Structure 1
């Protein structure tokens, strides 16, 4: 299917719209400054993703801030650093300051003229308003992956959306919903040396807008 044939975009918030990695890296600096020697950004972020992934099954119990607080403590333990729960909560409360990618708000403004936009995001209730304001969304546009699993499509019917007309926007590696399309955002230039493993590949949200405009002219 071409870009103009889809009716809904199912967008992963972090690393598509919000620069989560930079936000986490910045928020971890007080902890990393407590250890001797330089810290490798890629290695630290890979370690963090392992930690948060292992904690994720406790999402319903802990909430997003709770997950981040425990992740901070476990990162400290892995690095051999003592850290207080207060420091963990400070790390968790950094989430509203994570920056959005520069082209994301403008791209969302354009795309909503042609698609229904639904954003998968893990955030506590008090942080969702900030996110909506920054991206021009309303609360109903934000979906929790725990409540609306990407592996299933049954919940789409309740939203009057045909899975065949959905395009998921994510970072690699990712898979499409059943019967839907997949658009991968590959910001690293090295990724573009490889063939596109999805229906659509883009380098930025602005690139998606350009590709959509080209599709309209065909």
Structure 2
């Protein structure tokens, strides 16, 4: 199997293209500064993952920008901190401020020359529009949790994507699902018979950070530690020099 075998790359966005963990940690500072003890970065991220995943199951049709305020409220309760609803809402609106990884925009601009580029993301359309400006590329299709009415790892999201891509003339065997999260993306990609590429952004860190533990590790067909490494491998397949 080679990267050049595929017609379309379907991307998770947050954690793969957008550095959501740094964005979360920064956006949560008004809360974490109130906590009476030092919280490690992973402690913050793992608590966020627990409450986010639970809330997505509980209210699958709620937009991400409206779901995050509830996560903020739950975190405040867990850490024994009093917050206002306005503070919770402000966190929900912070997604547009989350930074892109330094290699994302350039990599996407290169890949756009060779593949259809598609987003499948656990976010709302308004929040993604802000992130898309940071990624500096026109995606061929964008499928959000708001569009699907559910959050990954629900099979509904992947079924929605596959059905819509078929209308664009893209078949399942032509798709390489490209993502960081084993829990949100590679597990359901396995269930749907999709080839997948792991962008292992957390390769130098312990644990799963802002995503839940996937349980049994899903399989994947390619692994790179960055988008830049993916581009390098594709160039090598084409016989191009860096």
When normalised by structure 2's length, the TM-score is: 0.81
Single out whichever of 153-162 and 25-34 deviates more from structure 2. Answer: 153-162
1:156 aligns with one of 125, 142, 165: 165
CA distance in 2, matches of 1:101, 1:7: 24
1:169 aligns with one of 178, 193, 197: 178
The answer on whether the counterparts of 1:59 and 1:67 sit within 8 Å (CA) in structure 2 is no
Gaps of at least 5 residues in structure 2 are 149-155, 206-217
1:125 is displaced (CA, Å) by 3.4
CA distance in 1, matches of 2:82, 2:7: 50
Q: How does 1:97-112 map to 2 (within 5 A)?
A: 97-112=97-112
1:30 is displaced (CA, Å) by 1.0
1:197 is displaced (CA, Å) by 4.5
The answer on whether the counterparts of 1:128 and 1:139 sit within 8 Å (CA) in structure 2 is no
Partner of 2:134: 134
CA distance in 2, matches of 1:17, 1:132: 10
- Per-residue CA deviations over 1:17-56 (Å, capped at 9, x if unaligned) read 0011111111111111112121111012111111010111
When normalised by structure 1's length, the TM-score is: 0.89
Cα distance change, pair 151–171 in 1 and its aligned pair in 2 (3 A): farther
1:100 is displaced (CA, Å) by 0.3
The answer on whether the counterparts of 1:9 and 1:168 sit within 8 Å (CA) in structure 2 is yes
The answer on whether the counterparts of 2:124 and 2:144 sit within 8 Å (CA) in structure 1 is no
1:22 aligned onto 2:22: yes
Partner of 2:236: 214
1:35 aligned onto 2:35: yes
What's the RMSD between the two structures over aligned residues?
Answer: 2.2
Cα distance change, pair 105–87 in 1 and its aligned pair in 2 (3 A): same
